[in-house]
Amino acid sequence: MNYQVIDLGLGCQLIQPYDESGYYCVICAKSHGDRCMYYSDGQPVHDFICPDCRMHPGFDDTPDEKDGLTQEQYVARYRRGWLDSVGWDEECVRRLRSVFEMSDDDIDTIRTA
């Protein structure tokens, strides 16, 4: 797996995984084939919404100032919202672990986000 760091500005970043089969969602790691969520210059693809976690690039990718979350906390909370919505489906958790190379601790961080 390869990882492109997406710089959203103001110290916020996302990781877009990709390999020879294409791109993966920055939140839920769903395979999107040749559809990226961010262009190589970091600009969001505004007409794309992940069908699994509903992440909308350019709209859902950074915390609201009033929420007081760091970018890492925001991403973890978004992932928890998605996993809650699928009942922590084993296949979804396995996908996150595999694509983002997450440890048990990483998964626990999401669980308590």
Residues that bind Zn ion (CB under 5 A): 25, 27-28, 30, 50, 52-53, 55
We find the least distance from the C-beta atom of residue 109 to Zn ion, in angstroms, to be 18
We find the least distance from the C-beta atom of residue 82 to Zn ion, in angstroms, to be 7
Nearer to Zn ion, 34 or 65 (CB): 34
Q: Is 21 exposed, middle or buried (0-12, 13-18, 19+ CB in 10 A)?
A: exposed
We find the least distance from the C-beta atom of residue 53 to Zn ion, in angstroms, to be 3
Cα–Cα distance, 17 to 26 (Å, whole number): 7
Using alpha carbons only, how large is the chain's radius of gyration in Å? 13
